[in-house]
Structure 1
């Protein structure tokens, strides 16, 4: 039997400070909704239109892509961080996640919130516990949400899934890179599960997207360090002043191929 317990205060602080996801406010604004509400086409379109206004009138396709990036950072990444670093599992149902446009963090289009901070622990069979968490996160949460964004705006699903993948890679390759001992082994095993073992059917894709976009890093002429060049453009240049450093548009315009060594100083 799985038991629920509240996340410890210091763990909650970590999530709030590092990923900008906090507890649900007792005084919800008129511009707040649950992630579940976004499965309603009218409410989803209204949210994206409001975000487009904040972004200076950008297209809904570009806004949907940026929404997916922020959502990946504020919701998906902390859920996986909690699983791998804290060895605990959130309630990842859509109804447990809130979005508030009236209380955004600096340079962010919205704030993400968790209604119930209760978590589960793996017990004796961690692999089965992890599988249940990933099914809830991917199949029942992210996949229907991304498909809704696609239906409402026609943003390619490939862009949305690569947006997700980029943040998953960042979490395990950068944020959790300094773990040691059993924590390191656990995080590495979770990362490999997400890349290689989580079935493509959870994503409603023929090819599992987290594995699909996990390409080798290289050293393109324009970059100061090795990067994993994206296969799709996230359209950030339509809402910002420039392209992302991993944007394929950068590599399509350079004359030098990717190199294995850094530029000489």
Structure 2
């Protein structure tokens, strides 16, 4: 059996600063749910409905989409960061993740917490260790949660998977650049593994989502920098007051196609 350790305090604070995940666990409130509890259809719909109330009564499908984006940023991305940068594996079992609507974050309508900050280390067989971590993270965590969100609110699975994929791209293509030595090599190897070696079956999909949505970046007429235009709309415009800069809806109204040169001026 692999020995468990606790993530160091400085590493927990790093995750809080980078991804807004709470560094310490506070007792559950009446409006808190473990990710495991959210696999119950009634509880999942209740949680999304309560979130909808806090942001002005937006449609449940749009709220579910925005929840999946925040959840990926605050729970899934920190786990990948910990794997690739800290070379440690967080416990992301469904019962260990708590979503608290009573204690919202500074930039989020809910707080994300872990009950236990235990971690594993790879030892001499890192590839096998990584495979176990990713299988737990995607196959046993994200897949059942995404399917319950889909069943409870009608939000399309493709939309949820693209929300997930874009944050994975952001982490490895934007956040984790300019590293050095073994750390950089580990990041590049892990990203290649996620993009090219995780099978579609792990996601319970016919096409592997990270590969499906990994289109080339381009300069659309409305954008000042290269972007990866989404294939699905995340419905942010139904919650906020504008579309995202990568929204495919924008591409329906521009007069110039995506181009491979930057905007002038």
1:92-107 aligned at under 5 Å gives the runs: 92-107=92-107
Contact 1:24 1:98 in 2 (8 A): no
Contact 1:33 1:98 in 2 (8 A): yes
Normalising by structure 1, what TM-score?
0.98
Where do 4+ consecutive residues of structure 1 move more than 2 Å? Answer: 23-27
CA distance in structure 1 between the aligned counterparts of 2:106 and 2:85, rounded to whole angstroms:
26
Map Cα deviations across residues 71-114 of structure 1 (whole Å, 9 max, x no partner).
Answer: 00000000000000000001110001000001111231211001
* 1-structure distance, mates of 2:70, 2:107: 11
| Distance in 2, Cα, partners of 1:120 & 1:111 | 24
- Mapped to 1, the partners of 2:152 and 2:126 lie a distance apart of 37
Unaligned runs of 5+ in 1: none
Q: Is the 8 A contact 2:25 2:114 kept in 1?
A: no
Distance (whole Å) between structure 2 residues aligned to residue 221 and residue 53 of structure 1:
36
Q: How does 1:1-265 map to 2 (within 5 A)?
A: 1-23=1-23, 25-265=25-265
- Greater mean alpha carbon deviation, residues 26-35 or residues 254-263: 26-35
Structure 1 residues 225-254: Cα deviation after superposition (integer angstroms, max 9, x where no partner): 000000000000000010000000111210
Tell me if the contact between 2:90 and 2:120 (Cα under 8 Å) persists in the aligned partners: yes
Q: What does the per-residue CA deviation read over 1:126-171, in whole Å, with 9 as the maximum and x for residues that have no partner?
A: 0000000000000000000000000011110000000000000000
Matches of 1:109 and 1:211 in 2, distance apart? 30
Distance in 1 separating the partners of 2:96 and 2:202: 20
Instruction: Provide the alpha-carbon RMSD of the alignment.
Output: 0.9
Could you tell me which runs of 5 or more consecutive residues in structure 2 were left unpaired when the two chains were aligned: none
